[in-house]
Amino acid sequence: MYYQRDIYRVYYDEMRPEYAQFKNEYIYAFTWEDPREDAKILNLTSKDTVLAITSAGDNILAYAALPDPPHRIHGVDLNPAQGHLMELKLAAFKSLTREEVWKLFGIGKIEDFRELLLTKLAPHVSSNALQYWYDKGPKTFDINGAGIYNTGFSKWALRIARVVFKVCGISDDVEELCQAKTFSQQKKIWDDHIKPTLFNPLISKLLVGNPLFLWKALGVPANQAAMMGNSVIQYVVDTFDPIISKYMISTDNYFYYLTLMGRYAKDNCPAYLTKDAYKKFTSQNSPLDNIRLHTDFLNDVFNRITKHSLTVAVIMDHMDWFSEDGTDADDEITALFHALAPVGF
């Protein structure tokens, strides 16, 4: 009854008090970290067993889409709703056409979501995920709404950005930036129109200099923002400028394309939404079957899985959440040492 046809999700007690802090909502509807950089550094193969933060699931699916995907991929996230989102993506590849998958997660909206859920997706999600999407799915994927990428805490980044663009009269410039064909054209639009608007004193104070915005929109904890102090605005400027010079937003940087446009483009999207990935995921020996989702603390998962079974652990920046005395870090290092193979990292 819980698993139905698939066993991606490790059973968890939904009444656990630690889950209440998330208020039954995921933080991230999309993943910011670039899995292409992971692939360059990690050199993952079928000999690997990987553990990563689930988040929106994009990077876990990117690992599964590699030419020689890992033997096992563990996704860990304490927020049950992040697991529900990941389950929905897995179920989509189990039961939908490529065009339906694209509508759900490329465009972010689709006709008659609840009917699709009950007639196709339902057998491939756990009972908890089914209940979640039966309730929230129709509004999330409403064909006349803003789409899934306008949900979760991360929606505030997109919403506020759109308001700023509209009020400041640069909406057309933003769209032109996302259609630019050359670096010189892209940089000119950025330098002449968008950058001066985003980083004028008033907008900077309201957005990038605002701890509430940094947390609610971008997931930057208050203590981390405090460490940057008055340099936070310069930090953001120094982050954006190289991106404009190094990556074409229109064809190569799907993260900022999504943030600016509210959807992906078929030639500028995460690996899991490509034609090759769909073919791989829907094959007889699908690498998706090697994914396990844990709704738990990392330490609990490290201690639960087979000793020395992990070859790679991608735990990103979750240590922002650790206590100031460092005892949590000590505990996690010990648990991680238990789980990692001698050659693991």
Q: What is the DSSP string of 170-197?
A: -HHHHHHHHH--SHHHHHHHIIIIIHHH
> Are 124 and 201 part of one and the same domain?
no
How many CB atoms sit inside 10 A of residue 163's CB? 10
Cα atoms in the Cβ-side hemisphere of radius 13 Å centred on 200:
10
How much is the pLDDT for 223? 67
Reported as type and span, the H/E element at residue 223 is: helix 222-228
The last residue of one of the domains, among 229, 261, 293, is 261
The pLDDT confidence band at residue 57, using thresholds 50, 70 and 90, is very high
Q: Are residues 228 and 114 in the same domain?
A: no
With respect to residue 35, please indicate whether it lies within any of the assigned structural domains: yes
Higher pLDDT, 226 or 27: 27
Q: Are residues 41 and 115 in the same domain?
A: yes
Instruction: List C-alpha distances in Å: 143 to 81, 197, 209, 249.
Output: 22, 32, 35, 26
d(CA 232, CA 56): 26
Q: Are residues 118 and 185 in the same domain?
A: no
Residues 257 and 276 in one domain: no
Q: Is the dihedral of CA 5, 117, 149, 22 positive or negative?
A: negative
63 and 139 belong to one structural domain: yes
Is pLDDT above 80 for 324?
no
CB 206 within 8 A of CB 230: no
Q: Is there a domain that residue 9 lies in?
A: no
- Percent of the chain past pLDDT 90, that is, above it, reads 60
Is the residue at 88 inside a domain? yes
Residue matched to tokens 């694209």: 102
In this prediction, residue 199 carries a pLDDT of 75
Q: Let me know whether 132 and 281 are in one domain.
A: yes
Last residue of a domain, one of 237, 261, 285: 261
Q: Reduce the DSSP state of residue 301 to 3 states and report it.
A: helix
Q: Are strands 312-314 and 49-53 parallel, antiparallel or unpaired?
A: parallel
Domain residues for the domain of 257 are 158-261
pLDDT tens-place string over residues 146-205 = 899 999 877 776 777 788 788 889 999 999 999 999 999 999 999 999 888 877 777 766
Is residue 133 over pLDDT 60? yes
pLDDT band at 102 (very low <50, low <70, confident <90, very high): very high
Residue 210 in contact with residue 204, Cβ under 8 Å? no
Q: What is the DSSP string of 11-51?
A: P--TT-GGGGGGTT--S-SS--S-HHHHHHHH---TT-EEE
**Residue 131 and residue 25 share a domain:** yes
CATH number for the domain that contains residue 68: 3.40.50
Question: Do 226 and 329 sit in the same domain of this protein?
Answer: no
pTM of this structure: 0.90
In a domain, 192, yes or no: yes
| Strand segments (E) across the chain | 49-53, 72-76, 291-294, 312-314
Query: Is 278's pLDDT higher than 90?
Result: yes
| Pairwise pLDDT comparison (261 vs 87), residue with the higher score | 87
Task: Please report whether residue 95 resides in a domain.
Answer: yes
- Residue 2 domain flag: no
* pLDDT (average), residues 207-225: 62
Instruction: Please list, residue by residue across 209-244, b when 16 or more beta carbons sit within 10 angstroms of its beta carbon and e when fewer do.
Output: bbbebbbbbbbbeeebbeebeeebbeebeeebeeeb
The residue-averaged pLDDT of 77-82 equals: 96
Mean pLDDT (the chain, rounded)? 88
Shared domain for 21 and 143, answered yes or no, is: yes
Tell me what pLDDT residue 229 has: 64
State which of 226, 261, 296 marks the end of a domain. 261
Same domain flag for 102 and 241? no
Tell me, what's the pLDDT at 18? Answer: 94
Please give the tally of structural domains in the chain: 2
Q: What is the pLDDT of residue 204?
A: 67
Q: Would 119 be classed as within a structural domain? A: yes
Q: Is residue 292 in some structural domain? A: yes
Beta carbons of 170 and 196 less than 8 angstroms apart:
no
88 and 195, same domain (yes or no):
no
Q: How confident is the model at residue 296 (pLDDT cuts 50, 70, 90)?
A: very high
**Is the predicted pLDDT of residue 216 greater than 60, yes or no?**
no
> CA angle 21-24-27, nearest 5°?
75
- Confidence grade of residue 135 (pLDDT, cut at 50, 70, 90): very high
119 contact partners, CB below 8 Å, separation of at least 6: none
- pLDDT tens track for 9-40: 999 999 999 999 999 999 889 988 889 888 88
